[in-house]
Amino acid sequence: MAAAVAASLVTPASAIKPEDSKACALARRAATGAALSVPFRVVDGCIYVTAKVDDKGPFVFAVDTGASGIGRADAGLVATLGIPVTGSGHTSDGVATAEIKTVRLRSVDLGGFVRRDLEVATRDYSSKLTPEAAFSGILGREFFGDGLLVIDYPAAD
């Protein structure tokens, strides 16, 4: 299934007028003036897009607007690109806490929208998934944090 993810990433929240603050009005405006439109597919209810990492790829990324931070990198991607571990920390899903390792990505390019110098958590996300559902990373809510993300399901093929 392919469709468009339209992200009006050029409209900072501070520029939105109160009369335009309703979600539907913003979505309509984004659909006509999107800064970015990329195809996506849906697998088991998850949205997948392709992106380049450090000018290599494309690689499959899941879009998870509920994921904190800018994103995640699968251990397979880190190994494929030879990205060194740069740090560690802890994460929690509300039930359990786990230690994580972090890596620094020079860039992630989603259809021409590029984020640079990203520190992201890394772990094995994909080895237990079916080949169709496997991904190289996750784009979290902060990846889209300075714009409006519109997921246009009706535009699906």
pLDDT in tens, 43-74: 988 999 999 999 999 999 999 988 888 999 99
The CATH number of whichever domain residue 39 belongs to comes to 2.40.70.10
Model pLDDT, residue 17: 56
| Token pair belonging to 99 | 């230690």
Distances, alpha carbon 102 to alpha carbons 23, 89, 117, 120, in Å: 34, 8, 13, 5
**DSSP string for residues in 91-118:** EE-SS-EEEEEEEEEEEEEETTEEEEEE
The answer, yes or no, to whether residue 3 has pLDDT greater than 50, is no
The answer, yes or no, to whether residue 27 has pLDDT greater than 90, is no
Burial pattern 145-155, b for ≥16 Cβ within 10 A else e, equals: eebbbbbbeee
The total of structural domains in the chain comes to 1
What's the whole-model pTM score? 0.79
pLDDT tens track for 95-106 = 888 888 999 999
Owning domain of residue 143: 3-155
What's the pLDDT band for 7 if we cut at 50, 70, 90? very low
More confident residue, 45 or 10: 45
